[in-house]
Amino acid sequence: MRVEAVRKEGGFFIPINDELKAVAHDRIFLDMEIVRPVREEWPDFFNRAVSIFGKPSGKKASECVAENRKERS
């Protein structure tokens, strides 16, 4: 399933499909794709977003962003 986050005042709205209501699990994981280049001040945004959905790796999202940048360079 793919949904698009819509910019609203104070953040983004992620429409949740009715199909998710039938999910019996305690948690779900959502993948995010940023379609614009990541700005330097965005790691804090990622940390807040990841804290909402959980951190399965135990790492801060900004650490993951830094690792991805190292891998790409």
43 with 34: CB under 8 angstroms? no
Domain count, the chain: 1
Flag whether 66 is in a domain: yes
Q: Is the pTM of this model over 0.85?
A: no
| Residue 48 lies in domain | 6-72
Q: Report pLDDT for 70.
A: 74
**Does the pLDDT at position 9 exceed 80?**
yes
Flag whether 58 is in a domain: yes
Flag whether 30 is in a domain: yes
Q: Alpha helix locations (H) across 1-73?
A: 43-53, 61-72
Flag whether 52 is in a domain: yes
Flag whether 46 is in a domain: yes
Flag whether 1 is in a domain: no
Q: Report pLDDT for 12.
A: 79
